[in-house]
Structure formats: C-alpha cells, structure tokens
Amino acid sequence: MQQVQLCTYSGGSSSSRSYIRPVTLAAFAAASRRRCSRRSCKASEAEEPDPEECDSLEIKESDNRRLDVFLSEHYEQSRSYFGKLIDQKAVLVNGRATKKSFRSFKAGDVIDIRFLVEDQVMRPEPMDLDVLYEDDDILVVNKAPGVCVHPAAGHWTGTLVNGVMHHLGFVSAEDSSLPPAKPGPASKLRPGIVHRLDIGTSGCIAVAKNSLALDSISKAFAAREVQKTYLAVVFGGRKCFCGYSAGSGHVIDKPIGRSRKERQRMAIVDEVGGGRPSMSVVRSIARAQELHLLEVRPRTGRTHQIRVHLAEEQSPVLGDEAYGWARANHRYRGLAERTLLHAFSLAFKHPRTGEPLFFEAPLHDDFKKAIETMQPLEEEAATIRRLLEPSASEEVPLPDPPLPNINVVKQRAKVHVGV
C-alpha cells in the first residue's frame, strides 16, 4: 500500500499536495462558537444524512394496508426488504418507530424511510481514487463529481466506500477492518465515513481507517474544530459578497430544516419549526457577467447547507437541479453539467499525534473550465492563478488558512471592488 508523503511546509518546493500548517484549531473552535439553545449545543455538528438515502411520504387519505405491504407496493423493493428496515427502526411513522403490521394510516400521516442496502452488495470495487494523503489512521481523497460517498437508495454500487475498500486491499465487506459509522440505521454502510459530500460535489473528504481516527475526527466535527473551505460557481452573485479579504466575508446566519413542502429537500426553517442554527461565511473572489466564484466557509454542517444558503441569497450554485434556477442552468448547460461546488480545503488535527493537518484538493477540469474566463476581483489574481495552476503554489509561499472570527467577519476589508 503506497503512503503519500506529508511535508512540513517551509515555502520551498514540494511534490506533495498536502501540508502541515501552524493552524491553531483551538482558536478556530473558540472563535466559531455562537450562542444557541441547550439542545442545539449538544447536537453534533458533523454532516447530517444526505436526503438521497432517505424519502418521506405523506398519506393523502386513510389506508388500511400493512406498513410493509404499503411500502413494497409503493417502491420497487420487496416486502421482506421493508420488513428488515422496520425491524431496524429505519422506518418512522409520524416520527416514531412502529411494527410491520401497523395499518391505521390517516390523511396527513408522514412516513420517513431510511433505505439500507443488502449486506452482499457491499463489495470492494476498483476505482481511480485521487489520494491526497494516507497513513495508518486516515485517508484523504479528492472525490470526483458524480460519485456517491456510500451506498444509498439508487446508488448501491460504485460509491467511494466501495472504492476505498478495494484501495485498502479488502476482498469483501466481512474482511474489511474499516470502523462502522456512529451507531444508527445503515451505520455498516458507511465504514470509515465521518463527513460526506453530495454526489455532485467534488473535493476533500477524509476517511477514518480505525476506531481511534473515527472517534477523534467525529469529535472534532462536533466541537467545530474542523476547517472547511468550499468554492462555488453561482449565478447572480450579490454585491454584498464582494470587498472582503481572506478570512472574512458576508455572514449568512439562517436556520435550516427539512422542507415542509418537499420532504426530500432542505429549506430555511425557523428554529421553532424545527430548523437548526446554520452559518456560512461567503466572499466573492472572481466574476464573469452573471457568474461569480465564491469562497464559502461553513461554520456548521447541515445537510445541503451551502446550496440552501446561497439559493436563499438569490445566488444559487450553477448546475444545482434541486436548489438552483432552471433558466440559469439551461443557459449555462454547456458549462455546468453538475452542481459546481468543490470542497477545496480541509484542516483538522491528526487523530493520533494531534498535529495540525491541512489539505487542498485540486479543481476538476469542469470546474476549471467554468472559472478560467472569470476576472479576479482586486487582489485575488494570485488566488485564481493558484487554483488554475496548482504547480505554481510550489514556488510561491501559500498563505496560512485564515482563522475565522465571528466577531469581525462582518467588517468589510478596505478593498475597492470594481463591480
């Protein structure tokens, strides 16, 4: 198994794409905490389940069919399959687990289903993984767009988990030593997965190889000690995103919850209605006519957070079929064949040594194509050049990841922006 070298950055040349930086992650965590309710403070800030592996049904009229029968007739899977889901409490009726024989449905009842894949489907599969870093505890990969992170409804094979299992030399799921995800339905389907990216999103994702790493990184996410930076190509970026220097930006502080109208989607929902506190800090770094390239630093890890926040700000991610604008996606269909969102960087402490780690994922070709004709905003030319030509960063010292500070991010930098 090849181990990718991890270098201490000193401003000189290096062939590695990962660097150790003097990132004070404790300071990051302290700066990013905000006032919230007792319940919200206790909740984990790790990424929530992706709605692609879930579904919700609202009963339109009374029905006396058994729960397992009702679901098997609504979906393609068998009655026994749904029986297993119900036994594992992966099916909830009005938020509560129930029995397979339940049949007293009334209009307005809601059934939430979390789909689980059969055990025999979890097989290692060859995959061309872009490995950014690997040691005995963690594996950091630049996920390609279109790859689902783990088996889910409609994506039983060809997932990142399948590829990682093959990369690590496992011959079957039973042979795998990857730790299962936190306890709960489908935890065995997410071995080593601490955080996730949507299927159309590319970029940095960390996989834990053992329980020590899984527990350490999970706690870091829960304590908001993990730095994440995303890049997004959006349609109609607002002027309020412009004029910020690195480390600051326009704050979007709006709670997110499941949409009441479309249960598979997320939306801005007040906390009284079930929304959870969500914060993203956004700044524009380049533009071209109707498009902007944004740098987004999420402070929380809600499902689809960046996509929902930017759509709420009338600046939807280009190519986003769920939250984007159909007319914009159609106009730029030759430029965006997927959601143009990229998890550019990831920083956290090494689970065993405690050493601060920082990783950057090079842009994929489609993302480069979308931004190569953009005009950098003032003082951002070097940033755009480094994104398009990663090799240039070996000769030019890279800036340390800026430490976010909620108390100052709303202060605009004194930078003139010609927009």
Distance CA 247, CA 147 (A): 30
| Dihedral sign (CA 375, 379, 381, 385) | negative
| Cβ contact 203:216 at 8 Å | no
| DSSP states along 37-94 | -HHHHHS--SPPPPGGGEEEEE--S-B-S-HHHHHHHHSSS-HHHHHHHHHTT-EEET
Distance CA 103, CA 229 (A): 47
| DSSP states along 331-397 | HTTTT-SS--EEEEEEEEE-TTT--EEEEE-PPPHHHHHHHTTPEEPTT-HHHHHHHH-GGGGGTSP
- Catalogue the active-site residues: 198
> What letter does residue 408 receive in the DSSP assignment?
T
Q: Which long-range contacts (C-beta less than 8 Å, at least 24 apart) are formed by 315-324?
A: 315/234, 315/235, 315/236, 315/237, 315/238, 315/241, 316/234, 316/235, 316/236, 317/232, 317/233, 317/234, 317/341, 318/233, 318/234, 318/235, 318/291, 318/370, 319/200, 319/233, 320/200, 322/265, 323/265, 324/235
Distance CA 282, CA 155 (A): 32
Strand, coil or helix: what is 175?
coil
Which residues, 6 or more positions from 337, have their beta carbon under 8 angstroms from its beta carbon? 319, 366
| Cβ contact 251:409 at 8 Å | yes
CB-based burial, 27-59: b 16+ in 10 Å, e otherwise: ebeebbeeeeeeeeeeeebbbbebbbbbbebeb
**Tokens 């080593």 -> residue:** 192
**Tokens 């042979």 -> residue:** 175
Strand, coil or helix: what is 259?
coil
Q: Rg for the chain (alpha carbons), in Å?
A: 22
